[in-house]
Structure 1
Amino acid sequence: MVEHQLAFTRAMDAVQHLADPNPPWQDILRTARDLVGADSGTLIVFDARNHLSNLSAIGFSDACFADYQGHYYRHDVLERDSRHAPAGTWLDTARMYSRSQLQRTEFYADFMLKHRMAQILSLIVESNAVLHASIGFQRSTVDPKASERLQSGNFGQYFRTLQSHLGQREKALSIGWKSVESAFSEVNEAVLLINQDGMVNKMSALARQLLDEARGWRVQGGKLRHADSKCQRLFDAHCAAAFRDGHSRSLATTTGWGEFHWMDISVAPDSLSLIGGRLLLARLRRKSAFAMPDVDKLESVFGITHAEAAVLAGLAAGHSVEEIATLRQSSVLTVRKQVASLLNKMECSRQAELVRLASLL
């Protein structure tokens, strides 16, 4: 009784850290396994296409981990038969299948038996259009009343607390995403969250707008796709590299003459991941050779007058001195004096250098 209470206290202490940016899932799994009295514990996440997205385990041998991750996740009977079950559902191989039914499955015959698993108990902790996640426990002996026991007393209190904290984390994630979306939208950047299988978890309203224009990028089958196969291969390679080493990558794709989309791909903050697993943040913005520079920004950055900034914007847009004079309803002489002042203030010797500096904005 004392040992059970100690295990319960440790498990409750660990689960409080679900609010951390990067929850200590190994500690959470270890203490939950000890509370349940199982041989091992797992956190398993599948994406929308039923591919394994994340696997965390405590008590698994290296061979067991490699077998499941490399092949047997595709034959996991519990995952297969619970894809549409809601969060909060308990799964139990001893209750869901007769012994003869279980023995006829590849998952039991070639995986469970090999790694001395007689029974698997699993609680679905998240189930939505993007992911399906469960926390599971593997036993070397069968306890026919295990699933009932885990829903009552201290066990029930612990798992209700775990689900409650996950719900709070989901709310915090939603607030965090809205902040990210708002911040980047202010500077006209669309943002998307992408998982390791290339699936789009979230996208901003501006991202939907850009993708709806169907000029290159689009979401197809839940993945970000490009009409040009060369661009697609480059994007996939950049994502794989960013997942591997954590370094940012960039690529540009044309959308028409003088226009293109620029994308920055970087590792997303841990706080944007609900249940572990690295995500990428893709920032997409439209660039155009015909866009006029912001006059106020030119004035502020280069320390020039507003009138000079307007002339500089005209030069950057490809207008001649005479055209600028006409557009500004000014004399050619006045505009030439303003160009001379710009050359002096910005330490340039030619108008082409002024345009190059202005293009930075």
Structure 2
Amino acid sequence: MPDHRIALRRAIEAVDHITDPEPPWQDILCTARDLVGAESGTLIVFDARNKLLTLSAIGFSDACFSEYQEHYYSCDILEQDGRNAPAGTWLDTARMYDAAHLQRTEFYADYMAKHRMAQLLSLIIESNTVLHAAIGFQRASIDPKASDRLQSGDFARYFLALRSQLSQRERNQAIGWRSLESAFSEVQEALLLISRDSMVDKLSSLAVGYLDDAGGWTLHGRRLRHADPKVQRLFDAHCAAVARDGQMRSMATASGWGELFWVDISIAPQALSLIGGRMLLVRMRKKSAFAMPDIAKLQTVFSITHAEAAVLAGLAAGHSVEEVATLRHASVLTVRKQVASLLNKMECSRQSELVRLASLL
């Protein structure tokens, strides 16, 4: 019994860190496995298309780990039979299948038996439109009462604490998302939080407007899609590359004549990932050749006067010096002097260079 109390304390201490920006999943799995009394433990996350997103394991051999990742996840009987079960459901091969049926499955005959797994126990910890996740335990012998035991006493309290911490992490995630959404909306950037296969988990209000604006980007079955197949292939390739190496990728797509969407794809902050693998953050901003540059921003960035910034904005919008003078109710000579001052202050030799610098904002 003292060993049980020590295992329980360690397991609960590990679970308390689920709300950390980067939870120690290996420590959580290790202490949970020791508490349960199993040979190995796993955290498995599938996406909405039943593809393996994340596999974290403790007690697995290299061969066991790689074989599951490469093939056997696709015939995992517990995952298949638990896809529609809500979070909090326990799955137990000893309860769900008789021995003869289990032994006829590829998963048992070619995987479980090979790696000395006689019984699998799995608790579904998340089930939504984006992902399906479970914490599982693998035993070398069958305990017919294992699932009952894990749902009572100290075990029940531990798994209740685990799910409670996950709920708190989800609340923290929502707060973090709202902060990001507010910050980027201020600079007219739309945000989407997506999985590696473009399943949208969250999107900002501005993103909703952009996707409804017939600019080519839409949501189809909660997946971010573009009407142009070439654009879609490039976007998917960028997502895969970002997920692989963590380096941001950017692309531009036409939104209409003289307008485009600029899209940045990067790894999302770990705090925005609920369980296991990292999510991707997509930032979209609309740019128009007809949009008048922000005069206040030009003034601040280039350390010029307000009047000079207004002239620069007019030039960047495609107007000639004469047209800027007319629009500003000023003389052509005054505007020419302001252009000369801009060339000096912004260290440019030609008016076209002024326009190029202004267009960067």
Q: Aligning the two structures, in what range does the TM-score lie when normalised by the shorter sequence? A: over 0.9
Tell me the residue number matched to 2:195.
195
Answer with 224-233 or 117-126: which moved more. Answer: 224-233
Tell me the residue number matched to 1:247.
247
Secondary structure, aligned partner of 1:214: coil
Deviation at residue 315 of structure 1 after TM alignment: 1.0
Residue type of the alignment partner of 2:265: I
Residue type of the alignment partner of 2:215: R
Unaligned runs of 5+ in 2: none
Deviation at residue 201 of structure 1 after TM alignment: 2.1
Contact 1:53-1:197 at 8 Å conserved across structures: no
Deviation at residue 28 of structure 1 after TM alignment: 0.6
Structure 2 residue 347 is matched with structure 1 residue 355: no
Contact 2:197-2:239 at 8 Å conserved across structures: no
Contact 1:252-1:260 at 8 Å conserved across structures: yes
Answer with 21-30 or 328-337: which moved more. Answer: 328-337
- Over 3 Å counting, the alpha-carbon distance change for 1:347 and 1:67 in structure 2 is closer
Tell me the residue number matched to 1:144.
144
1:69-218 equivalence runs, <5 A: 69-218=69-218
Deviation at residue 163 of structure 1 after TM alignment: 0.7
Partners of 1:343 and 1:10 in 2: CA distance: 67
Contact 1:251-1:264 at 8 Å conserved across structures: yes
Deviations 1:114-169 (A, max 9, x none): 21111111111111111111111111111111111111111111111111111111
Contact 2:42-2:56 at 8 Å conserved across structures: yes
Answer with 30-39 or 326-335: which moved more. Answer: 326-335
Secondary structure, aligned partner of 1:292: coil
Partners of 1:40 and 1:304 in 2: CA distance: 66
Deviation at residue 256 of structure 1 after TM alignment: 2.2
Deviation at residue 225 of structure 1 after TM alignment: 2.1
Q: RMSD between aligned alpha carbons?
A: 1.5
Percent identity between matched residues is 72
Tell me the residue number matched to 1:229.
229
Deviation at residue 65 of structure 1 after TM alignment: 1.3
Residue type of the alignment partner of 1:350: R
Tell me the residue number matched to 2:45.
45
Secondary structure, aligned partner of 1:132: strand
Residue type of the alignment partner of 1:36: V
Partners of 1:340 and 1:64 in 2: CA distance: 71
Deviations 1:259-278 (A, max 9, x none): 11111111111111011102
Deviation at residue 7 of structure 1 after TM alignment: 1.1
Aligned length: 361
Partners of 2:313 and 2:165 in 1: CA distance: 53
Tell me the residue number matched to 2:258.
258
Deviation at residue 292 of structure 1 after TM alignment: 0.6
Secondary structure, aligned partner of 2:67: helix
Q: Normalising by structure 2, what TM-score? A: 0.95
Answer with 14-23 or 229-238: which moved more. Answer: 229-238
Secondary structure, aligned partner of 1:38: coil
Partners of 1:320 and 1:343 in 2: CA distance: 15
Contact 1:296-1:309 at 8 Å conserved across structures: yes
Deviation at residue 346 of structure 1 after TM alignment: 2.8
Deviation at residue 59 of structure 1 after TM alignment: 0.9
Partners of 2:319 and 2:211 in 1: CA distance: 32
Contact 2:197-2:236 at 8 Å conserved across structures: no
Answer with 231-240 or 91-100: which moved more. Answer: 231-240
Contact 1:194-1:202 at 8 Å conserved across structures: yes
Tell me the residue number matched to 1:318.
318
Tell me the residue number matched to 2:285.
285
Deviations 1:307-342 (A, max 9, x none): 221111111111122222222223333323322332
Partners of 2:222 and 2:174 in 1: CA distance: 20
Secondary structure, aligned partner of 2:121: strand
Deviation at residue 186 of structure 1 after TM alignment: 1.0
Q: Normalising by structure 1, what TM-score? A: 0.95
Contact 2:321-2:336 at 8 Å conserved across structures: yes
Answer with 161-170 or 302-311: which moved more. Answer: 302-311
Deviation at residue 257 of structure 1 after TM alignment: 2.4
Residue type of the alignment partner of 1:236: D
Tell me the residue number matched to 1:55.
55
1:5-20 equivalence runs, <5 A: 5-20=5-20
Residue type of the alignment partner of 1:326: T
Contact 1:47-1:131 at 8 Å conserved across structures: yes
Partners of 1:92 and 1:315 in 2: CA distance: 71
Q: Which runs of 4+ in 1 moved over 6 A?
A: none
Contact 1:18-1:169 at 8 Å conserved across structures: yes
Tell me the residue number matched to 1:337.
337
Partners of 2:21 and 2:287 in 1: CA distance: 34
Structure 2 residue 273 is matched with structure 1 residue 273: yes
Deviation at residue 24 of structure 1 after TM alignment: 0.8
Deviations 1:252-311 (A, max 9, x none): 112222211111111111111011102211111111111111111112222222222111
